[in-house]
Amino acid sequence: MKCCKRVISSKSQNILILFMLILICPAAWAAEDSADISTESAGPTSRIVGGKEAEKGAWPWMAAIVDADSTSNYDGQFCGAELIHPQWAITAAHCVDGELPQNIAVALGLHNLETDTGERVGVKRIIVHPDYNDRTDDVDIALLELDRSVEYETLSLYTGTDSLSGKTAVTIGWGSTDPVFKSYPEELRQVSVPVVSNTTCNAAFNAYASYYDDPITDNMMCAGFEEGGKDACQGDSGGPLIVAEDGQWQLAGVVSWGEGCAEPGIYGVYTRVSRFADFVAQYVPPAGDLNGNGYVGLEDVIGILRIVAEIRPRTTSATNCGDFDSDGDLTLADGIGILKLLTMP
């Protein structure tokens, strides 16, 4: 037994339930509210999961997974995802397992889900890892192939062998800021949390409930504070846990599950991305593969040189197509770099 996946169903339904609770039991509501005020500071970041509003435009690769038939990004959003290639996003398997591609969309360029239009992109294919276990949430990772390429900065994957234990990470999303009454923000939020070892995390879960027996596998990682207070929550599933490596942000984890949100003595659980580099590489074209045929060839070089000849520099990232030297632009140096690669024995 395990709880709880950090995906949400209906924000409108949660708001209706909250309204009914206020009408039915105002006295209990007032008592609960007084208890909260007495134990929590009144600052702007004093909510249960902590954190703060993200700076607008700071995370251009951040995406929302929404119901395709919902006209509102706020009402339709139920999970997060990260753009790792102009035509591919990564998310949690439990967000999309059993979904049909035509029933969901990926929304990009958003900060405020209510007021920002952003860009919705259809999903061509959903690839849930074949070893995903929906009972234990082991191997909780999936890829979304978009139905067209987009021009947003992409996020690099952390592929190192270090466990990252003790390193400060950042998790981001539009998930609940109140795990009791499911209050969902309109703006993108972020929170910094330390990565903890799997040994520490397993010990915490084993002590938390008798039905746990080392639930944290090598495919998972944990982050949070022993005293609680800062964590991902419902609606953040599929979102990122990023770390700063080599001067750039890299995706180390994908929001997966937890016991409540920001509970003391327990940690948030994430899919460990470095364990799935081969899975990603099986589907997502490498940097420089402009035509998407799975390898870097002469056509890709010609494509880069054409872009340069047309004087169309594009802001990109190290994982974006064609930026061979990872300087953020497509230039002649990228074409030369790929040519050298092709002529190597």
Name 143's bridge partners: 90, 127
Q: Give the max Cα distance, the chain.
A: 78
Residue type, 64: A
Peptide bond into 25 cis (omega under 30): no
- Residue 9: exposed, middle, or buried by beta-carbon count in 10 A (0-12, 13-18, 19+)? exposed
Exactly one of 85, 94, 111, 129 is catalytic; name it. Answer: 94
Tokens of 150: 């987009």
Q: b/e string for 21-53 if b means 16 or more Cβ within 10 A?
A: eeeeeeeeeeeeeeeeeeeeeeeeeebbbbbee
Instruction: Note the Cα 279 to chain centre separation in Å.
Output: 17
Per the annotation, the verdict on 317 as an active-site residue is: no
Per the annotation, the verdict on 237 as an active-site residue is: yes
Exactly one of 140, 300, 323, 334 is catalytic; name it. Answer: 140
Per the annotation, the verdict on 94 as an active-site residue is: yes
d(CA 285, CA 85): 8
Residue type, 317: S
Exactly one of 156, 237, 256, 274 is catalytic; name it. Answer: 237
Catalytic residues: 94, 140, 237
